[in-house]
Structure 1
Amino acid sequence: MKTALLTHADCLAHVTPTGHPERVARLEHILHALEPLALERVTAPLAADDDLLRLHPVSYVDQIRSRSPAEGYAQIDGDTFMSPGSLEAAYRAAGAALRAVDLVLTGEAGNAFCAIRPPGHHAERDLAMGFCFFGNAALAAKHALDHHGLSRVAVVDFDVHHGNGTQELLRDERRALVISSHQMPLWPGSGRRDETGFFDTLVNIPLNAGGGGAEMRDAYEQLAFPRLRDFKPELIIISAGFDAHQDDPLAGLNWATADFAWLTREICLLAAELCEGRIVSTLEGGYDLNALAASTKAHVEELIKAAQ
């Protein structure tokens, strides 16, 4: 089977102010890097409101719709903006993650990568923040559990910033294991080891600035992979942020491109052992354009190898 690539031109129509790190060029560079790869290319659908309402209240969805500007920008919080194309982009981003789950769980794809923006792992139940509007990865997990009837889903988030939104959206869901590695201290300030959730299903792995790939590899081998084996997920969802790269301007974990390839390969091996290789990966952060493109390509190349 092939790796599915889900994306849509609408995700390029989410425009942010000049100088904003979460910009159109991010997705352009990724799509250019992935162009030569053998992927099953799938058009990302719009998420339905009912899909969003699994985790976000109707008042919040209505609020986001009402803030969509006819021109210019609407500032939703300190660093989160909407342009006239942002609302459809956000619906496409969530829709891509949901459709990817469908493809993987029905056996139409071996695994999937969602090349989308805006990202999602900072969006809380009724709060847009950190460039995010809807909790794409968390919504994908709930879709797998509630629509497809899975019993256990794991989310692995290796973005350099803690996935506070995914944690908040899934903290009372005993069927979801959420593992997040992230630099600490760093915005948004959450993600301490003692944040374990109502059912001990949150695994936070704070990493030190400058620790590099060696610290990350040891942390995953000692803390993350054993929890995945114990939990035995039927699907693994990856929040794939590439801002831990040594060239990224927003943080300082100093990972190399090879570290993202190693981590992806190890997750794929675990998925083969635990859940028939079923992985859905969705783009989160990464703000140096060349590092983002190279790391995403390395990530997707490992998904392709695993799907064969």
Structure 2
Amino acid sequence: MATGFYSHADCLQHEMGQWHPECPARLQAIEDQLIASRIGELIERESAPLADEAALLRVHTKAHVDYLRARSPQSGYAEIDPDTSMNPHTWTAALRAAGAAVAATDAVIEGRYDNAFCSVRPPGHHAEPARAMGFCFFNNVAIAARHALEVHKLERVAIIDFDVHHGNGTEAAFSNDARVLMCSIFQHPFYPFTGADNQAPNMCNVPIAARSKGMVVREAIDMIWLPRLDAFKPQMLFVSAGFDAHREDDLGNMALVEDDYAWITQQIRLVADKYAKGRIVSCLEGGYNLSALGRSVVAHVRALADI
């Protein structure tokens, strides 16, 4: 099974201050673990292109795109919200992150890869159509999913989100869109305090209590996600792959381990093999303990590549 691995050095240039957990070292930690595990030799590396404005506008308002472009500073930082800011390289990094997701979607649909992982930052799933927030500027997975629907004319896609935080931006982009089924697990109550109530019919959000271990999450996926995915029969799956529900990650308070991420990915792959010709595009979201992040991504990519 051929797995594409999309990244770009520009994604290392975005940073929001030395104190900030969403830091360039996250991608370096992933690279270190890929080398240590030796699976880096078994995946196909691709350089992420810049997303064009047309791709962004399939999800985001023009006012939002123009606002971020205008806010991009010549030096220092431009604050977007109390924990989200831009440096002079953020705009380009955000275009690379979204561009990776779009390019991976093209490659998987065209059959060059069975699936792909985008090792990119900034992350995306909190970015709403008209608002950047929660470390996120453009919603990479939403942009990729909309590209599959509107450019490649797929009729049904599923979005899987296992970050410790609810993907409020993705839900805002696709709520009540019958072409999209979003399945998510997230710690609740927790930032951004959305997802548990008033779900649209195409949302399958499963709030999980703090301190929950992997068996709780596996049972929820087995009993709630998988029947919905079987009924929906997606033609492609997109993954918001956040690893901050790991027991070593201080930004969440859940207790998943690498084996849980491998199991979740295997379930996603089984659905993709059954209904979607194996087509999966996964994009990095959270994960802030550097060692746990690197190990978890290796487990995820191993399961994607079936190695």
Shorter chain as denominator, the TM-score bin is over 0.9
* Aligned twin of 1:203: 204
Tell me the residue number matched to 1:6: 6
The SS at the match of 2:33 is: helix
Count, aligned residues: 303
Q: Verify: 1:71 aligned to 2:75, yes or no.
A: yes
- 2:305 aligned residue: 304
After alignment, is 288-297 or 249-258 more displaced?
Answer: 249-258
- Do residues 147 (structure 1) and 157 (structure 2) align? no
Runs of 4+ in 1 over 6 A off after TM superposition: none
What TM-score, normalized by structure 1, do the two folds share? Answer: 0.97
Identity %: 49
Q: Which runs of 5+ in 1 are unaligned?
A: none
Q: What SS does the corresponding residue of 1:96 show, helix, strand or coil?
A: helix
1:196 is displaced (CA, Å) by 2.3
Establish whether residue 30 from structure 1 lines up as the match of residue 33 from structure 2.
Answer: no
Aligned with residue 66 of structure 2, among 62, 65, 83? 62
**Aligned partners of 1:195 and 1:202 also within 8 Å:** no
Shift of 1:195: 3.1
2:185 maps to a residue whose letter is S
Alpha-carbon distance between aligned partners in 1 of 2:84 and 2:111, rounded to the nearest angstrom: 36
Per-residue deviation, 1:15: 1.3
**TM-score normalised according to structure 2 size:** 0.97
What is the aligned partner in structure 1 of residue 103 from structure 2?
Answer: 99
Which stretch of structure 1 is more off in the superposition, 172-181 or 90-99? 172-181
Q: Does 1:267 align with 2:268?
A: yes
Aligned counterparts, 1:269-288, within 5 A:
269-288=270-289
1:216 is matched with 217
| Bigger mean CA deviation after superposition, 125-134 or 171-180 | 171-180
1:248 alignment counterpart: 249
Is the 1:14–1:85 Cα contact (8 Å) retained in structure 2?
A: yes
CA RMSD of aligned residues (A): 0.9
Write the distance in 2 (CA, Å) between the matches of 1:32 and 1:278. 27
Output the CA distance in 2 between the equivalents of 1:203 and 1:221. 13
CA distance in 2, matches of 1:195, 1:292: 32
Secondary structure in structure 1 of the residue aligned to 2:261? helix
Deviations 1:42-63 (A, max 9, x none): 1100000011011111111010
SS at match of 2:306: helix
Instruction: Give, in whole Å, the separation in 1 of the partners of 2:9 and 2:62.
Output: 27
Report the Cα distance in structure 2 between the residues aligned to 1:144 and 1:201, rounded to whole angstroms: 18
Unaligned runs of 5+ in 2: none
* Aligned-partner residue type, residue 155 of structure 1: I
Take 1:92 and 1:31, find their aligned partners in 2: how far apart are those partners? 18
Query: Are 1:250 and 1:287, in contact at CA under 8 Å, matched by a contact in 2?
Result: yes
Contact 1:93 1:119 in 2 (8 A): yes
